[in-house]
Amino acid sequence: MLRDITLGQYYPGESWIHRLDPRVKIIAALVYVAALFIVDNLIGFAIALAALAAVIIISKVPLSFILKGLKLIFLIIIFTVIMNLFMIKGGDVLVEIGPLSIEEKGLYTAFFMAARLILLIIGSSMLTLTTKPISLTDGIEALLSPFSKIGVPAHELAMMMTIALRFIPTLLEETDKIMKAQQARGADFESGNLISRAKSLIPILIPLFIGAFRIAHDLAMAMEARCYRGGQHRSRMNAMKLSGRDAAASVMLAVFLAAVIVIRIVL
């Protein structure tokens, strides 16, 4: 069962969006999120929605797959919407239920808030859905590397993420092993109240941590043996190259951003 886990929420595919350079996709996601905060009217939201819809269609990621991963977040959004509806006052009173009332301003705020949050969450998850975690790491490293001169440890951060991704399954397997070993000796993880259940996790966590340190020690030695010496002198097998595809995507992104800004100013 542990062997089947997927890391992150990558949806494997070969679409135009999947094949974009991770750097372009990261920037696009950032620009999209920023644009959502520029937008303040219905036309702007319509454009943002259309852009997102286009990306989803091109990426061929099924909508149900996208929404499945966001169930919990939608609960939070619904809660926010309800709070906004009833709490924000101003304008005409639209509905009155006993002591509660929904007023015009509340409705607007709730609607924009919900639209913004939904677009923001789906928009940013399109990045992780269409980019392998490992390419994402490479992209972040490349984008941060200009800042390494002012002390941003770009390579180190990327290496840490790579190793974390690599060892998540290993540590899960280890946890599974430890739990089974403890259960074989009569440990009970399922019954009792919250506190006693939390307590029963301690015998799992301690060996897990010791194991993690042992792995870290071994891995550090193996990396040194393979001439690892940090980011300097290092070359890459898959040097990232921008293609025509990436240029096209960048142009579309610029057009989108310009449209959003123009609409904000004009309307």
Is residue 223 near another protein by the rule CB under 8 A? Answer: yes
Q: How far is the CB of 60 from another protein (least distance, A)?
A: 20
d(CA 207, CA 213): 10
The three-state (H, E, C) secondary structure of 189-237, written as one string? CCCCCHHHHHHHHHHHHHHHHHHHHHHHHHHHHHHHHCCCCCCCCCCCC
Is residue 208 near another protein by the rule CB under 8 A? Answer: no
* Cα separations in angstroms, 176 against 190, 194, 201, 207, 212: 15, 21, 12, 12, 14
CB 51 within 8 A of CB 32: yes
When the beta carbons of 150 and 227 are compared against another protein, the nearer one is 227
Q: Which of 9, 101, 162, 250 binds another protein (CB under 8 A)?
A: 162
Q: Which of 54, 58, 198, 221 binds another protein (CB under 8 A)?
A: 221
Q: Which of 1, 227, 265, 266 binds another protein (CB under 8 A)?
A: 227
φ and ψ at residue 201, rounded to 5 degrees: -80, -20
- 1-20 binders of another protein (CB under 8 A): 3, 7
When the beta carbons of 185 and 233 are compared against another protein, the nearer one is 233
Is residue 225 near another protein by the rule CB under 8 A? Answer: yes
Q: Which of 40, 156, 188, 218 binds another protein (CB under 8 A)?
A: 218
Enter the tokens of residue 181.
């070993």
d(CA 139, CA 141): 5
CB 46 within 8 A of CB 159: no
Number of residues that bind another protein (CB under 8 A): 31
Q: How far is the CB of 172 from another protein (least distance, A)?
A: 9
CB 123 within 8 A of CB 32: yes
Q: Which of 22, 106, 123, 133 binds another protein (CB under 8 A)?
A: 133
Give the binding site for another protein (CB under 8 A): 3, 7, 133-134, 162-163, 165-166, 169-170, 173, 214-215, 218-219, 221-229, 233-239
